Amino acid sequence: MTPTGKPIDVLLVEDDPGDELMTREAFEDNKIGNNLHVVRDGEQALDFLYQRGEHTDAPRPDLILLDLNLPKYDGRQVLEQIKSDPELSHIPVVVLTTSSAEEDILRSYRLHANAYVTKPVDLDQFIRAVKQIDEFFVQVVRLPTR
């Protein structure tokens, strides 16, 4: 939630059910009162963002947590589309992925990711990382209003 107590909409783009579950647990354990929306591939992510298909009533997310290794369109393609669209480019995108490869990190920042976080394998560390992302992007920085 924002400092004013207003929940934000977070879009999690994650194809791994285990990582989705860990993210949900992190939100619950940290009492993060934000609205978590989940899509499982790059195509669904773009449908959500452009309010197409089954996502016609989707809210515009205030923050996107994006895995890189996704079916259909990978996270790099989704990130490139988001950051090249003037209607979406202001939305902060945190790449949250298992890859710690230097080329993935560099490419993500070249595509204008706002942050790059390698998913910790340990559940407690993962929960702590999600809490820190929330604290920084929701409580510390000011997000643009729509």
pLDDT tens across 20-38, in order? 998 888 888 766 678 899 9
State how far Cα 120 lies from the chain centre. Answer: 16
Q: In the prediction, which pLDDT does 120 show? A: 85
Q: Over the stretch 93-129, which tens digit does the pLDDT of each residue have?
A: 999 999 999 999 999 999 999 999 999 888 889 888 8
Q: Is residue 84 part of a domain?
A: yes
Tell me if 54 is assigned to some domain: yes
Give the residue carrying structure tokens 């394998």: 121
Residue 84 has pLDDT above 80, yes or no: yes
**Structural domain harbouring 37:** 9-132
Residue 141 counted as domain residue: no
Tens-digit pLDDT profile for residues 45-66: 999 999 999 999 999 999 999 9
- Predicted confidence (pLDDT) at residue 142 exceeds the cutoff of 80: no
Of 116, 96, 76, nearest to 36 by C-alpha is 96
- Tell me, what's the pLDDT at 8? 84
CB 38 within 8 A of CB 14: yes
Return the CA Rg of the chain. Answer: 14
39 within some domain: yes
Q: How many Å apart are CA 145 and CA 20, to the nearest integer?
A: 27
Determine which helix (DSSP H) or strand (DSSP E) holds 37, and give its type and residue range. Answer: strand 35-39
Which of the pair, 80 or 134, is modelled with greater confidence? 80
Within-domain flag for 3: no
4: pLDDT strictly greater than 60: no
Kindly state whether residue 1 falls inside one of the protein's structural domains.
no
Q: With a cut of 70, say whether residue 14 has pLDDT above it.
A: yes
**Predicted local distance difference test score (pLDDT) of residue 101:** 93
- On whether residue 14 sits in a domain, the answer given is yes
**What CA–CA distance (Å, rounded) separates 5 from 81?**
31
Domains contained in the chain, number: 1
H-state helical runs in the chain = 17-29, 42-49, 75-84, 102-110, 123-134
For 88, residues 6+ apart whose C-beta sits below 8 A from its C-beta are 49, 81, 82
CATH number for the domain spanning 63: value is: 3.40.50.2300
pLDDT at 146 over 70: no
Q: Does residue 143 sit within a domain? A: no
The C-alpha atoms of residue 40 and residue 55 are separated, in whole angstroms, by: 13
